[in-house]
Structures are given as structure tokens and as C-alpha cells.
């Protein structure tokens, strides 16, 4: 099985956060595991807020791309498709809420688990939990909507 | 007068979003204008979500650093200091809420206006509005707290 972002159609594969065709990007990758999205990400040394701690904007970016892929996975399952095998539909953020529970240490790999909480045909709500070495550092709630036709060129 | 981020103490000037000493970073700059924070930012061509539109994680990152500086400015005024002249204290995000009102076009310079809505000694709430060519594309509400002693090395 593939990571969900590797199965975005080519037109949707340029995202700075997760596009395989964006050579400057972060390349967030989401694995679909038993109804959840799982992602691992190792921040670069320069992704800092203060020395020793991860930049909050990066955490928001990881939550964005990971939640969009998880929303896509949930919508695929609802439609009878198989995440990680069939093409991944592209969702975009309608809203993002991040609670920073504690400073996230810069150094260890970050683990992001994302769980779809409401799955509609066009809208999917996703909750994301970010942990570092087993300690939860941030939580996000993301509302994803299918990329509207006006965004597709 | 200086941009607020240029007056962060050196230890706090490494942020990926706004640190003048982070050579890989975005270098968000906030000007203090009559009680508001004003920032302008030109996304790079690779800061895209889909072709033609700005990446939502970048918008969250701009809201982060711009709101933190605006929170600092408001706290300085409350303490009798002058933003843009005196050292800027460092705030970090406790929470971030972004509503993406419409897709943000990639190309024009973005304008961010930030307004402190609640100013406490340690916590400041800030509202951010992002416009492109005069059209509001995103709104954020950010809760800023003084960087805790545990984050300072």
C-alpha cells in the first residue's frame, strides 16, 4: 500500500506541505491504518520557535496536510474505495484549530495520529494528536472540504 | 522605528517564522501602527496548496508570528514601553484558530492586520485578518502567552 499523498492526482501533488512534486516542500506522508491516519515527521534543525522547541507554524502545517489526507481516506472508505491503493481525492482546510498543550521538543521524530470524527460527502472533520517521545504536545481539530471546482485548473 | 521582530533579544531571534538569525526562515516582520500590527508577506512560488493558491500551513505560520509580535507590542504599551524602539518580549502560541474564508491567490503580496483584543500581563488575545488585493481570505484568533521560563535556555 502507498502513502495517501503519493496517490494524489498529479495536479494536486504540488502542495508545499505534502506534494511529492514540490521540491522545496515538507513531504508529509500519511499512512492509513485501520481507520486512522498515521504520520511521522522529523523537523529540520531550523524548524525552531526558540532553541530546542518546534515552530508552531510547522505543527499547524503538519496538522493541515495530515488531516487533509485522513479526511480523504475516510471519504474513500465511505465511498467504497481503498485508501493507499485507489487515487486520493484532494481536500482543503475550511478551518484549523490547534491547542499547544506544551512546548514540542525539537530533535525527536514527531508522531501524528488523525481520527475522522464526522464524515460527509464533501466535509470531513478530523482530530489530530501530536506526540513526541510518547508525550502529547499538541492537538488539532480540522474541518476539511473537497477542493472546490474553482481551485482546480 | 524598527519592526518588532528586529528587537527580539538574540536568544529569541532564531524562529523559523520570524527570526532574523534563522537563515532558512520566512522572516515575517510586524510594524506597530497605532495599536495594530501590520505585516506584508510575498509567498514564494513553492508556497502553494494547489497551483495558483497559497498553502494553508503558510497562512497559519504568518498568523502565528505576526500575532506573537502584536501581542508583544500590546503588552509593551500596557507596561509603558514603546513598540519598535524598546526590546520586544517573546510570546508563544497557546492556541491558534484559522478560518479560511476563501482560497488565497498565490502571486500578490499578502497584507496581515492584527488587533489585540484582550491584553493581560502574561496572556494576550489577537485577531488577524489576511487580505490579498483588498479581499479578505482568512481570519485567525490567536492566544499568546509569554514564553515560559522552561522554554528559555
Taking residues A84-103, what's their average pLDDT? 97
pTM over 0.95: yes
Residue B148 confidence class, pLDDT cut points 50, 70, 90:
confident
Cα–Cα distance measured from residue A110 to residue B84, given in angstroms and rounded to the nearest whole number: 36
- Whether A48 sits inside 8 A of B93 (CB atoms) is no
CA-nearest residue to B12 within chain A is A50
Cα–Cα distance measured from residue A25 to residue A48, given in angstroms and rounded to the nearest whole number: 16
Dihedral sign of CA atoms B133, B134, B140, B146 in order? positive
Asked if residues A142 and A63 have their Cβ atoms less than 8 Å apart, the reply is yes
Cα–Cα distance measured from residue B25 to residue A69, given in angstroms and rounded to the nearest whole number: 26
Q: How many Cβ atoms sit within 10 Å of the Cβ of residue B47?
A: 23
Q: How far is B144 from chain A (nearest CA, A)?
A: 11
Please tell me what DSSP assigns to residue A10. G
For residues B95 and A150, the model is more confident at B95
pLDDT higher than threshold 80 for residue B152: no
Does residue A118 belong to the interface with chain B, where contact is any CB pair within 8 Å? no
Question: Taking Cα atoms as reference points, which of A99, A56, A137 lies closest to residue B60?
Answer: A56
DSSP string across B61-115: HHHHHHHHHHHHHHHHHHTT--BTTBPPPPEEEEEEEEEE-SPPBSSSPEEEEEE
What pLDDT score does B3 carry? 98
Does residue A47 belong to the interface with chain B, where contact is any CB pair within 8 Å? yes
Among B9, B20, B21, B49, pick the best mutation site for testing chain A contact (most A Cβ within 10 A).
B49
Cα–Cα distance measured from residue A61 to residue A52, given in angstroms and rounded to the nearest whole number: 19
- Whether A55 sits inside 8 A of B17 (CB atoms) is yes
Residues 6+ apart with CB under 8 A from B64: A55, A56, A57, A60, B17, B93, B96, B142
Which residues in chain A (18-37) have CB-CB distances under 8 A to chain B?
19, 22-25
Q: How far is B93 from chain A (nearest CA, A)?
A: 7
- Whether A56 sits inside 8 A of B103 (CB atoms) is no
Mind listing the pLDDT tens digit for each residue in A23-36?
A: 999 999 999 999 99
What pLDDT score does A153 carry? 66
pLDDT higher than threshold 70 for residue A44: yes
Q: Using DSSP, state whether A12 is helix, strand or coil.
A: helix
* Region of A79 on the Ramachandran plot (φ > 0 left; ψ -120 to 50 alpha; else beta): alpha
Question: Taking Cα atoms as reference points, which of A122, A110, A115, A104 lies closest to residue A140?
Answer: A115
Residue A148 confidence class, pLDDT cut points 50, 70, 90:
confident
CA-nearest residue to B139 within chain A is A95
Q: How far is A42 from chain B (nearest CA, A)?
A: 15
A95 closest CB neighbour out of B49, B58, B100 = B100
Does residue B90 belong to the interface with chain A, where contact is any CB pair within 8 Å? yes
Rounded to whole angstroms, what are the CA distances from B146 to A34, B73, B95, B120? Answer: 40, 12, 13, 10
Say how many CB pairs under 8 Å bridge A and B. Answer: 152
- Whether A57 sits inside 8 A of B55 (CB atoms) is no
For residues B134 and B152, the model is more confident at B134
Does residue B65 belong to the interface with chain A, where contact is any CB pair within 8 Å? yes
Residues 6+ apart with CB under 8 A from B56: A64, A92, A93, A96, B49, B98, B100
pLDDT higher than threshold 70 for residue A129: yes
pLDDT higher than threshold 90 for residue B58: yes
B57 closest CB neighbour out of A49, A60, A90 = A60
Q: How far apart are the two ends of chain A, measured CA to CA in Å?
A: 29
A49 closest CB neighbour out of B44, B49, B92 = B92
- Whether B23 sits inside 8 A of A46 (CB atoms) is yes
| Interface ipTM > 0.95 | yes
Taking residues B81-93, what's their average pLDDT? 97
Mind listing the pLDDT tens digit for each residue in B4-29?
A: 999 999 989 999 999 999 999 999 99
Task: Read off φ and ψ for residue B38, nearest 5 degrees.
Answer: -125, 130
Question: What residues of chain B lie within 8 A of the CB of A49, using their CB?
Answer: 15-17, 92, 151
Amino acid at each position: 500500500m502507498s502513502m495517501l499523498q503519493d496517490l494524489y492526482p498529479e495536479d494536486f501533488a504540488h502542495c508545499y506541505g505534502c506534494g511529492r512534486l514540490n521540491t522545496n516542500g515538507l513531504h508529509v506522508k500519511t499512512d492509513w491504518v485501520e481507520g486512522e491516519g498515521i504520520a511521522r515527521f522529523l523537523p529540520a534543525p531550523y524548524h525552531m520557535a526558540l532553541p530546542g522547541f518546534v515552530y508552531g507554524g510547522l505543527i499547524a502545517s503538519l496538522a493541515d496536510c495530515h488531516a487533509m489526507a485522513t479526511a480523504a481516506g475516510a471519504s474513500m472508505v465511505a465511498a467504497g474505495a481503498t485508501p493507499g491503493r485507489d487515487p486520493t481525492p484532494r481536500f482543503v482546510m475550511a478551518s484549523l484549530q490547534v491547542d499547544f498543550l506544551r512546548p514540542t521538543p525539537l530533535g525527536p521524530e514527531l508522531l501524528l495520529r488523525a481520527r475522522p470524527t464526522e464524515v460527509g460527502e464533501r466535509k470531513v472533520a478530523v482530530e489530530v494528536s501530536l506526540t513526541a517521545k510518547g508525550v502529547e504536545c499538541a492537538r488539532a481539530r480540522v474541518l476539511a472540504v473537497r477542493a472546490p471546482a474553482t481551485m482546480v485548473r
